[in-house]
Amino acid sequence: MKKLFAGAVALVSLTVTSTVMANETITVTGSNSMSSLMEVLAETYTVKTGNFVEVQGPGSSAGIRAANEGVSMLGMASRIVQDDEIKENVHTVAMARDAIAVAVNPANGVSNLSVEQVADIYRGEITNWADVGGAKSPIVVITRDSASGTRAGFESTLGLTRKINGIKVSAIYPRAQVANGNGMVKTTVAHNVYAIGYISLGTVDESVQALSINDVAPSVATIQTGEYPIARPFTLLYRDDAPAAAMAYMNWILSDEGQAIVARKGYVPVK
Amino acid sequence: MFMTNVPQAFKRTSGSSLSRQGGIVSRRRELTEILFQGLFMLSAFIGVLSLGLIGFFVFKEAAPAIEFSGIGGLVAGTDWLPPALYGILPMIVASLLSTSLAVITGVPVGIMAAIFLAEVAPPLVVKIMRPAVELLAGIPSVVYGFFGLVVIVPLIEQVFGVPSGSTILAASIVLAIMILPTVITVSETSLRAVPNQYKEGSLALGASKVYTTFFVQLPAARSGILTGVILGIARAVGETMAIIMVMGNAPAMPEGVLDSARSMTANIALEMSYATGIHSSALYATGVVLLVFIMLLNATLMYLNRQTSK
């Protein structure tokens, strides 16, 4: 018993000293979709420098609020942040971009859609390819399961959400077929001439055709310039008075090393 | 040290037991009996205990969703829009529709195949067919799903001219194939267990072979066949992976068998990985409904079986 107690004391002191040993704790709060990428970055950074990074992902709005009020050293927002949303001493910087390709069967014939057309197809308001310049055949709409991050990104960039009893829910047509993964969307679209689906840009291959949106083809270049519309920036927010450790972390994310991790996780680097 | 100790201990016991060997042997046997009875009881309780624990935890986890939407909102709701609405009626309908279609097509085929194997086929054919059927039972469901996706789904698109073949019909066909081995093997075994005198008596009275099979042997084997059907239905209702791959998983209320739909099992499997809070609880509630359905189904069939055998 005594031994156990001594062991516990030793263990506690060990964890205490290890936190003391880490120079500083950097707090990052915000977007849920960004938190998985941020956690990977944080782990690498902790191993590299010994500075501990605490990541919380309650949502983009919470991230903007946290940065405004200085509750968190850095804020995360997985969307464009308007100037009137932030205080004068808060600045934004894009750390990555998340792009979604709208894919059809290569034999489909349609190669370009407008943002509104894509949104209407997913709302179930356009149901025939003839309405968007294709063959006269019904559209088979493929979506992702409601827990998917790609779906969340797709819905938020296209405004495919609505409110029921004050709770934000998806506005995607319930008759849309649901595939449980980028791979399954791709397989279904590759086998069905009438199908349309959306997948993370990194997973597009020759079995499907990625559509141009508003006449802009998705590519790393058009995503970096912001021309390709179904993409969202992963924005970091920081205050003028942010601690040096947090600024160092942010600069590391924007460095080649950080951006390489961004690319490896399937997002488009900003540089 | 250990090696030297063991023979001494052995000698001591063997020396003293020689005089009262009978008593010790019987006591030892008694002990073994008690030990094994306990072991059997424990094993039996593990099964029942698991059922109880699963039931308890599924209900416990489902409670927040039932509180949030009410039983009516869950079971009779037609909109699945997490995190606001958790209506699982479309999924109940999809599960029932796909399963019943699969049973309607699969069971007669299975029973007739069993009759063929038990009564008609020459021994050589049985030798080849039975292992083939048993092999069918061993195929993993994801392989059935893949088969459905690349063969049945495009076939439905061509035959019915629908834009997408990922439909309830595709799922039913895959399920019908999946329940075949269960129905065939159980039915064949029970048909073979019918005493030969029944058949001989019927034939001696001048009844035809077909008449004998349908009106003498089948009724006599009914209980076993029904067990096969119950097992088949349970497999069809509980099937997940193959269904996810061929049914399209749209959470809307299906309007016909050529519509895409989502089964209860698919609903749980699709969203479990990410769901949190009430959403996750609603998936457990889906599990509760599934559990209740399977219990009701089994109870009904068992009751029917008992009624008709009276």
**ipTM of the complex as predicted:** 0.71
Instruction: Please report which confidence band the pLDDT of residue B11 belongs to, taking 50, 70 and 90 as the band edges.
Output: very low
Q: Which of B104, B133, B98 is nearest to B238 (CA)?
A: B98
CA distance A238 to A72: 9
Q: What is the mean pLDDT of chain B?
A: 87
Amino acid identity, residue B203? L
pLDDT at B21: 57
Q: Between vectors from CA B257 to CA B253 and to CA B261, what angle results, nearest 5°? A: 40
Mean per-residue pLDDT, B133-150: 91
| pTM for the model | 0.74
> Residue B249 and residue A177: Cβ atoms within 8 Å?
yes
> Residue A177 and residue B153: Cβ atoms within 8 Å?
no
pLDDT at A7: 54
Q: How far is B270 from chain A (nearest CA, A)?
A: 6
From the CA atom positions of chain B, what is the Rg in Å? Answer: 27
**pLDDT per position as a tens digit, A47-103:** 999 889 999 887 788 888 889 988 999 999 887 788 888 899 999 999 998 888 999
Strand partners, A128: A138
**B151 — contact with chain A (CB < 8 Å)?**
no
CA distance B310 to B301: 14
Please give the torsion angle defined by the CA atoms of residues B101, B107, B108 and B113, in that order, rounded to the nearest 10 degrees: 140
Q: Which residues contact B237 (CB under 8 A, 6 or more apart)?
A: B95, B99, B265, B290, B293, B294, B297
Low-confidence ranges of chain A (pLDDT < 50): 1, 12-21
pLDDT at B309: 65
In chain A, which residues have their Cβ closer than 8 Å to the Cβ of B171? none
CA distance A197 to B304: 47
The answer to whether B164 and A177 are in contact (CB under 8 A) is yes
Does residue B265 carry a pLDDT above 80? yes
* H or E element, residue A91: strand A90-104
What are the Cα distances from residue B230, in Å, to A222, B224, B310?
58, 10, 20
* H or E element, residue B23: helix B21-75
pLDDT at B5: 46
**B244 — contact with chain A (CB < 8 Å)?**
yes
**pLDDT per position as a tens digit, B130-140:** 999 999 989 99
Does residue B13 carry a pLDDT above 70? no
> Residue A146 and residue B273: Cβ atoms within 8 Å?
no
CA distance B271 to B91: 14
Q: Is the backbone peptide bond immediately before A233 cis, with ω within 30 degrees of 0?
A: no
Give the β-pairing of A195-200 and A140-144. parallel
pLDDT at A16: 45
CA distance B251 to A174: 6
> Residue A174 and residue B79: Cβ atoms within 8 Å?
yes
Q: How far is A74 from chain B (nearest CA, A)?
A: 25
Residue A94 backbone zone (phi > 0: left; psi -120 to 50: alpha; other: beta): beta
Q: Which of B177, B178, B172 is nearest to B259 (CA)?
A: B172
Q: Which of A116, A115, A117, A110 is nearest to A133 (CA)?
A: A110
Instruction: Please report which confidence band the pLDDT of residue B310 belongs to, taking 50, 70 and 90 as the band edges.
Output: low
Amino acid identity, residue B86? Y
CA distance B150 to B160: 16
Q: What residue has token string 């008690």?
A: B34
